[in-house]
A and B are shown apart, each in its own frame.
Chain A
Amino acid sequence: MEFFQRFAIPHPSPAIYASMVAIALVSIGIVVGLTYFKKWGYLWREWLTTVDHKKIGIMYLLSALLMLFRGGADAIMMRAQLATPDAKLLDAQHYNEIFTTHGVVMILFMAMPFIFAFFNLIVPLQIGARDVAFPRLNALSFWLFFVGAMLFNISFVIGGSPDAGWTSYFPLAGNDFSTSVGTNYYMLAIQISGIGSLMTGINFCTTIIKMRAPGMTLMKMPMFTWSAFIANIIVVFAFPVLTVALIMGTADRLFGANFFTTSNGGMDMLWANFFWVWGHPEVYILILPAFGLYSEIISTFSGRNLFGYRAMVWSMILISLLSFLVWTHHFFTMGQGALTNSIFSITTMAIAVPTGVKIFNWLFTMWKGKIRFTTPMLYSIGFIPLFTIGGATGVMLGMSAADYQYHNTMFLVAHFHNTIIPGVVFAMLAGLTYYWPKFFGFMLNEKIGKLTFWLLTIGFVLAFFPMYLSGLDGQARRMYTYSEATGFGPLNMLSFVGAALMALAFLAIVYNIYYSYKNSPRNIGSDPWDARSLEWATHTPIPEYNFARLPQVSSSQAFWDAKKKGHELFKGEIKDIHMPNNSGVPFVMSCIFFVAGFSFVFALWVPAVIALIGVFVCMALRSFEQDHGYHIHAKEVKETEAKYGKVLNNEDRSRATSRV
């Protein structure tokens, strides 16, 4: 009996039971559906074992969208609870678990896979490569992320969710104050997916350094690739810190190690320092690729090259360096004295300069352009003023003496949502709309897309701007309730209305995908937006090998120059193309990781040890394996190319694009 008690939820509620039933029904539905339609073989061959960067990117995209809804449901519950004073919708414990889950899911299991999706989908195409440097490692990265996310997501039905905030400050997150297994889930789920992220970082740094098309020097890389390059360098430097911190935290919770628990000589603020040494660069891992996407989109829809390319690159390099020098601004109030606060205050505010350079460069990219107001462009235009406000409040927070008044209040919550939503989420949705035709062969509906944008923007402003005021009026973050006397009621109600509008916007995205799948025309050509960089130079749908002949590049907008100046991108003969073999090992190994993680959460040592042995067996097998990949022969490539109809020449391309 005791065995089962360990898996019981410590604070059950009807909502959780309903979710349990829903999860069970959906799982049964999926299994039955796959069996009925005899799709198990297809699923295994085409998806579970794939090493194709495009398919892995699509799986990242789907997971990110799924997690967006998971985290969004949490957000709506929180705003509903706070909409009125003294509300009884959620109790304190449930609320704490929800905001913790919301933070972790949105940052690590929504935003991260979303940007990884774009790394996978775009980077190899933009640099004219056939795949990433380590395709099989790439598959392992995805599956590790995925099982990490799943491990985290089952916490609320088996054993209880983490409840110490997404920052999990010790000693609150220690065994003394956080008694359920929730924080164990936090430590292990993030650890497993974090290993995947670190491998992605290594993989893409290598890809970008080693696999660029002939002629593409670093300063001729498209801006998104630049942003991906720098973000992945940050990943490689920041994630090991998280790995170590999580190992220490796990040791504290499972083995009584006392690194962070103060009762036995540990240091609670050591966790906070580790967490933010990773956590602050993490926000730039998210925002820099978003900047890259905006650069591509603004340039395309202004019909102009990017203004100040070099300044854009250098500002990103500067931001990446500064991002490692500001972590203390997350706890100016720790009592480290005026000198330390002054140093970190200055480095924090300094980030505004390179970021400002980027804002102005986007503005001047539109200058003298020919601006088309498509859905991706609307997101990019909406981003500029909203992100400027978010950045401006960031500078305000950077003034450490004033930060004593903002710290831990709704003002801070408003600030970081004001940067992350217009910064990252808008960019992801813009990128989703922009690249959708390249990967799925049809365009998303523009009318629904624009409606979504307006719903999201209005909802965002309503949801988060009131928080600046309630923060300055003394509302601390993470309060599950407040009394009527505080006067926070009307502002929070406004936030709830905004959150509801945002929820509608996200539903509209799903509807748009469904509607466009049914109704959009399929003959859109390979370059529906009249774009500028190499990813649009290949066919739609993209052949397995991306490019039959590797492109010859002489500028950062090679495809545009090919279209307008008649540069010849693809020269020479079609030759045999070497491709990697599919492998089931990454998937299997990740499933074993899941078992190991779950066993560690509940301190089930026998299965944990067996699973860890399984992981090592997978690695050993790989080291003895002879896998040289395979060749697609030139003849086959030519046949495939012929199937796309005539290889489009420049005139055909411009005719194809004039339809839009």
Chain B
Amino acid sequence: MKIKLLFLLSIMTSVIFLSGCEPLLVFDPKGPQAERQASDIILSIGIMSVIVIVVMVILAYILIKYRASNQPDNYEPPHIEGNHLVEAICVGIPVLIVAYLSLVSVQSNYIVESAPVGYEEQEPLVVYASSSDWKWHFSYPEQGIETVNYLYVPTDRPLEFKLYSYGPITSFWIPQLGGQKYAMSDMVTTLHLAADEPGEMLGRNANFSGKGFAENTFNVTAMSQADFDDWVKEVHETAEPLTETEFQELLEPGHLGQMTYTGTHLEFSPAPEHNHSTTNESEVEYTDHSSHDQNQTNEENEHSAH
């Protein structure tokens, strides 16, 4: 048993050394949401380690003390039905721990599901992030631009991602800004993030979506608001507008490099945001786009489902 413990420890340490000096992505947060998640993770690792260690110590003690070779041949173990005090402790302490972790978990749920802490007052930058096999399309309606496979975001401004998919379920994940959320083809989900400092980050689809899944990544660059504005201006000066034919070609399965367009696909291929309160509106939406044959069938069916 001792050997095994030593062994476990040596593995853990060697693994930490092997993984280099850079912190693991999740423990290197660049925004308030990821920070909250990292602190939850560290808290739970701490509490859980205590439990694991307690169990291991009790186990080691019992195994050493009550091993058969340590006892006289005629030793007869007693018949013990149970012990109310011991059992109360074994139920009570886990209940307290779970209750505490539940409390933290519920708080965190509300925090990560709303505008990031410290950014509540500001108007968020809305980015529509949609996936197709196997790439990401980022539409900036406010700026009137669209990119493929890369994302520029301003620091110190809340980000509101509207996620959906043109195919299988994918999951939008930028580990250093915050945990992931699904992008699905029949609804839009919202993810609130914010970046505290400029820098390059990794983003990827985390949900298996077929052959090209492994390379289904995108680059994220956080920069100051001024740099971001410059970039937007530059795009408007240099990039071509996104046409519907071109967008349909982009949706074809395959990998693409980074691309930049002016205008967004939302104008001719809107996100599947259903407005259940007013049926009229969605009908208007539907007639608006009746000229687009391919989308028409899709939309028609989507609306009939509701």
Tell me the A residues contacting B by CB distance below 8 Å. 92-93, 96, 163-165, 169, 171-172, 176-178, 262-269, 302-305, 307-311, 331, 333-335, 337-338, 341-342, 345-346, 349-350, 352-353, 356-357, 359-361, 363-364, 366-373, 381-382, 384-385, 388-389, 392-393, 395-396, 398-409, 457-458, 461-462, 465-466, 469, 472-474, 476-482, 487, 490-491, 494
With A177-B168, A307-B82: A367-B179 Cβ-Cβ less than 8 Å: no
The residue of chain A having its C-beta at the shortest distance from the C-beta of B207 within the complex is: A408
- Interface mask (B1-41 → A, CB under 8 Å = 1, otherwise 0): 10010011001100110111010111100000010111011
| A163, A361, A388, A405 — most chain B CB neighbours (10 Å) | A405
With A268-B169, A353-B91, A408-B171: A491-B185 Cβ-Cβ less than 8 Å: no
CA of A371 to CA of B59, assembled, Å: 12
Within 8 A of A (CB), among B272-306: 298, 301-302, 304-305
The residue of chain B having its C-beta at the shortest distance from the C-beta of A490 within the complex is: B18
Tell me the B residues contacting A by CB distance below 8 Å. 1, 4, 7-8, 11-12, 15-16, 18-20, 22, 24-27, 34, 36-38, 40-41, 44-45, 48-49, 51-52, 55-56, 58-59, 62-63, 66-68, 71, 75-83, 86-87, 90-91, 94-95, 98, 101-102, 104-106, 108-114, 133, 163, 167-169, 171, 173, 175, 178-182, 184-187, 189-190, 202, 204-214, 298, 301-302, 304-305
In the complex, which residues of chain B have a beta carbon less than 8 angstroms from the beta carbon of A345? 102, 105-106, 109
The residue of chain A having its C-beta at the shortest distance from the C-beta of B54 within the complex is: A388
* B108 contact from A165, A265, A335, A401, Cβ within 8 A: A401
The residue of chain B having its C-beta at the shortest distance from the C-beta of A335 within the complex is: B189
With A401-B36, A401-B109, A482-B214: A396-B186 Cβ-Cβ less than 8 Å: no
**Nearest 7 A-B pairs (CB), nearest first?**
A404-B179, A335-B189, A265-B305, A401-B108, A392-B48, A172-B168, A360-B90
Is B52 a contact of A371 with CB atoms below 8 Å? no
Is A92 a contact of B214 with CB atoms below 8 Å? yes
Is B18 a contact of A392 with CB atoms below 8 Å? no
Minimum CB–CB distance for A557 against chain B, Å: 9
Is A404 a contact of B19 with CB atoms below 8 Å? no
In the complex, which residues of chain A have a beta carbon less than 8 angstroms from the beta carbon of B163? 335
In the complex, which residues of chain A have a beta carbon less than 8 angstroms from the beta carbon of B22? 487
* B105 contact from A92, A165, A346, A392, Cβ within 8 A: A346
- 10 more A-B contacts (CB under 8 A) besides A331-B182, A396-B44, A399-B104? A172-B169, A303-B68, A334-B182, A334-B189, A356-B51, A360-B86, A401-B105, A402-B40, A408-B206, A469-B16
Is B77 a contact of A302 with CB atoms below 8 Å? yes
CA of A305 to CA of B187, assembled, Å: 56
Is B179 a contact of A385 with CB atoms below 8 Å? no
Minimum CB–CB distance for B97 against chain A, Å: 8
* A370 contact from B77, B175, B202, B212, Cβ within 8 A: B77
Minimum CB–CB distance for B257 against chain A, Å: 15
With A385-B59, A396-B48, A402-B179: A357-B213 Cβ-Cβ less than 8 Å: no
Is A357 a contact of B109 with CB atoms below 8 Å? no
Is A371 a contact of B63 with CB atoms below 8 Å? yes
Is A474 a contact of B26 with CB atoms below 8 Å? yes
Is B112 a contact of A404 with CB atoms below 8 Å? yes
The residue of chain A having its C-beta at the shortest distance from the C-beta of B23 within the complex is: A473
Is A96 a contact of B211 with CB atoms below 8 Å? yes
Is B105 a contact of A400 with CB atoms below 8 Å? yes
In the complex, which residues of chain B have a beta carbon less than 8 angstroms from the beta carbon of A304? 77-80
CA of A474 to CA of B75, assembled, Å: 54
Is A373 a contact of B55 with CB atoms below 8 Å? no
Minimum CB–CB distance for B203 against chain A, Å: 10
The residue of chain B having its C-beta at the shortest distance from the C-beta of A399 within the complex is: B105
* A92 contact from B19, B206, B212, Cβ within 8 A: B212
With A349-B101, A395-B101, A474-B204: A405-B175 Cβ-Cβ less than 8 Å: yes
With A345-B102, A363-B55, A408-B207: A308-B82 Cβ-Cβ less than 8 Å: yes
